[in-house]
Structure 1
């Protein structure tokens, strides 16, 4: 059973201090910045959720956009900067399991036939995520750069590489925002939709 991080729970979990209230907040012990900057372009936090499986919290995820939106189709079609961050909270997440889960999520998003066109990109993604072992406390920042239609992969603020292709970007963000996302409650949380 998946645990949902509702808006009410999120608000109750916020732990503000005078020094950090404007720049970040803390959710279940994880610091989440209110904004991210990519190539001098500022992105704002659109929504945040938690991915859980079998009663175990796996990661806290945040969606950042240049213009806030609750329209998943508009976000997926957008050719502006956007980012997903994954804050790993479980030792169950290894580099191999993460890349496998992302590949499965993409397949769920685009279907068994649609996923075939992204074989090379998924291989690149696996290689980039596997440069070192993933552990609790690691933060992945996956940012879309419209200048060359690529997703930049950073781990703990360390650039690992990029994967190009606008269609890949749509399928990749579709893991969480498509008509058939990996977790519907997480999708609503990332969109800031209260159910």
Structure 2
């Protein structure tokens, strides 16, 4: 299947504008996940490094990693993990899984909130969106602004959805439909960018 060009999502438009203004090459060491043991094996995506395994009481193994690029701007790097014993990608399921995104640019919390609301609405459609709007609103209200080198992680541990910034939990919910909608932004059938999705899924 031919690769589709990434949609002009507001978040990547924002990142493009920041890059045009700053014209800086940003390199920062990756912060470790709090309270998690990581393997000594690492993979690198530009200045970001990701452990191939993470253990925070459950062992997660990397499925894939990649770089989200809009035009000539590198927005963020990502790595996708699933619980050990689940090597086949299953981003919308009960399988415990984690998505880690490493940002190369500063982004305000309000921008995360507005773009997430729009992206989830596109993923689930107008009919189903009202059913998850309340927990989704609580999730986006928990966002914090990021600086270059910061990382957001999204985890479904089999029972709960956990949003964390640099390993510190900001939000938790047991809403499976919300979890699937959030993961689908990057890993679903109609993601922000198919090439990035395919890299995360190890295709």
Contact 2:62–2:81 (Cα < 8 Å) also in 1: yes
Gaps of 5+ in 1: 3-19
Find out whether 1:64 has 2:75 as its counterpart.
Answer: no
Task: Name the SS for the 2:91 alignment partner.
Answer: helix
Gaps of 5+ in 2: 7-37
Distance 1:136 1:98, change over 3 A: same
Report the 3-state secondary structure (helix = DSSP H, G, I; strand = E; otherwise coil) of the residue aligned with 1:63. Answer: strand
Q: Is the 8 A contact 2:66 2:77 kept in 1?
A: yes
Q: Please show how residues 1-195 of structure 1 align to structure 2 within 5 Å.
A: 22-38=40-56, 40-66=57-83, 67-70=86-89, 74-77=90-93, 79-91=94-106, 93-130=107-144, 133-146=145-158, 149-193=159-203
TM-score (normalised: structure 2): 0.74
Runs of 4+ in structure 1 off by over 6 angstroms are: none
SS in 1 for 2:105: coil
Would you say the 8 A contact 2:45–2:67 is kept in 1? no
| Deviation by residue 1:106-164 (Cα, 9 ceiling, x = unmatched) | 2222122222222112211112113xx21111111211122xx3211211121223122
TM-score by length of 1: 0.77
CA distance in 2, matches of 1:114, 1:54: 32
Partner of 2:15: none
Secondary structure class of the residue paired with 1:134: coil
